[in-house]
Amino acid sequence: MTGYLIKRLFEMIPTLAGITLISFFIIHLAPGKPTDILTELNPKITPEARERLEKMYNLDKPVIVQYGLWLKRIVKLDFGESFSTDRRPVMQKIWDQKQSLLDRRLFITLMINLITFAIILAISIPIGVSSATHQNSLYDKLMTTTVFIGFAMPSFWFALLLMMFFGVYLGWLPISGLKSLNYDALPLLGKIWDRVSHLILPVFISAFGGLAGDSRFMRSSMLEVIRQDYVTVARAKGLPEKKVIYKHALRNALLPLITLIGLSVPGMIGGSVILESIFGIPGMGQLFFMSVMTRDYPMVMCILTIGGFLTLIGNLLADIGYMLADPRIRAKQ
């Protein structure tokens, strides 16, 4: 098992290198040199100063050498300074140690995605299983339509409708942001509720949109398992239907879902751009969009790399989960 993990960890390295290579390529798609933005800020910059800057970013060297040098820096987690006027180190903008953990961009995005994720699983597995056991029933059709509506509804529009209803009309939930103005003055429980209430709408929107994938997958996976011999055998042995479904079939039907989970991480991180923009949540997605629009290249590179890294971690966790769940693989190790 440990051996397998170590092997998997090593396998991540070339993938990560590939991700950075693609990111690097994208940056070089943009017209002009990446340092243009920086030097243009200063009309009086001398040719020497420009050259110095270019040296600093190694722009005088061939692209592949530049890439190597950049890679060398990021191994030390040094992504350089942001090109925006605040000139802060890129890592500091994503993970600001001066702010509480709950207010750091990377943490915010991760937290929202993890919560969403847990909710999606908690809802879509039962939906998938029950749809499969009641295949082609009215219930099945209703569920199919519901989860697809969630998928098909443009999230920014749905979000605004809910904001109007729960935020303005009913006044039950805050509309946007992460916490209230009087947050600091609240008692601990108040603080917790304040944070939670701000997350309800974004998490709901995000989870509703994500139900379709997992629940449909679960449904078809379950359908397939139900027809397998061992299920038939279990039934034939006279085991109660509930036990057949939930003990024998479900366990096996869940296995492929674990792989799917690992693959869904990049989609969720990508989706956070929209979610964070509409709800004014200062997470990584919002920062990425801003950086792209202002051509803040070091920032863009950094977030792309982190996004890829997170997916790899997700895949790794999925693998481990798969191993723990599947006795056949466990035995092989």
Partner 1 sequence: MKEHSLNDVFWRRFRKNRLAAAGGVVVVLMFFVAVFAPLISPYKPDDIDRKHVLEAPSVRHPLGTDDLGRDVLSRMILGSRISLSVGFVSVGIATLIGIFLGAISGYYGRWVDSIIMRFIDIMLTIPTFFLILAVIAFIDPNIWSSSAIPGWIRESLKIILIDPNIMNIMIVIGLTSWMGVARLVRAEVLSLKEREFVLAARALGTGDMNIIFRHIMINSMAPVFVSAVLGIAGAVLVESALSFLGIGVQPPAPSWGNILTLGKDNIEIAWWLSVFPGLAILITVLSYNLVGEGLRDALDPRLWDMEI
Partner 2 sequence: MFFCMTKRALLFLLGLLIAVNIIGCKEKPAETITTVSESNSHEPAYGDALIVGSIGEPSNLIYMLASDSASHDIAGLMFNGLVKYHTDLSVIGDLAESWDISSDGLVITFRLRKGVKWADGVPFTADDVKFGFDTIVNEKTPTAYKEDFLQVKKAEVVDKHTFRATYEKPFAPALTSWSGIVVLPKHLLEGKDITKSEFGRNPVGLGPYKLKRWTSGQELILDSYKEYFEGRPYIDRYVYRLIPDLATMFLELKAGSIDMMGLTPIQYTKQTNTDFFKNNFQKFRYPVFAYTYMGFNLKHPFFQDKRVRQAIAYAIDKSEIIDVVLFGLGSPATGPYVPNTWPYNPNVKKYEYNPEKAKELLNEAGWEDTDADGLLDKDGIPFRFTIFTNMGNTLRKNAATIIQWRLAKVGIKVEIRALEWSTFINEFIDKKRFEAVILGWSIGLDPDQYDIWHSSKTKQKEFNFISYGNPEVDELLEKGRRTFNIEERKKAYFRIQEILAEELPYLFLYVPDATPVVSARFKGIKPAPIGITYNLPKWYAPQKMQKHKVEQ
Among 154, 177, 240, 327, binds partner 1 (CB under 8 A): 154
Six-digit token string for 172 = 């039950």
Cβ distance 275 to 285 under 8 Å?
yes
By CB under 8 A, what part of segment 118-177 binds partner 2? 160, 163-164, 167-168, 171, 174-177
In angstroms, the CA 279 to CA 160 distance is 9
In angstroms, the CA 50 to CA 39 distance is 7
In angstroms, the CA 145 to CA 127 distance is 12
Query: Choosing among partner 1, partner 2, none, which partner's interface includes residue 153 (Cβ < 5 to 8 Å by kind)?
Result: partner 1
By CB under 8 A, what part of segment 173-232 binds partner 2? 174-179, 181-182, 185
Beta-bridge partner residues of 305: none
How many residues bind partner 2 (CB under 8 A)? The answer is 45
* Residues 6+ positions from 84 with CB-CB distance below 8 Å: 291, 294, 296, 299
Query: Choosing among partner 1, partner 2, none, which partner's interface includes residue 22 (Cβ < 5 to 8 Å by kind)?
Result: partner 1
By CB under 8 A, what part of segment 6-35 binds partner 2? 31-32
In angstroms, the CA 221 to CA 215 distance is 10
* Residues 6+ positions from 262 with CB-CB distance below 8 Å: 311, 314, 315, 316, 317, 318, 319
Among 7, 44, 242, 328, binds partner 2 (CB under 8 A): 44
Closest CB to partner 2 among 198 and 248?
A: 198
Among 312, 318, 322, 323, binds partner 1 (CB under 8 A): 312
* Residues contributing to the site for partner 2 (CB under 8 A): 31-32, 36-37, 40-44, 84-88, 93, 96, 99, 103, 105, 160, 163-164, 167-168, 171, 174-179, 181-182, 185, 277-280, 282-283, 286-287, 293-295
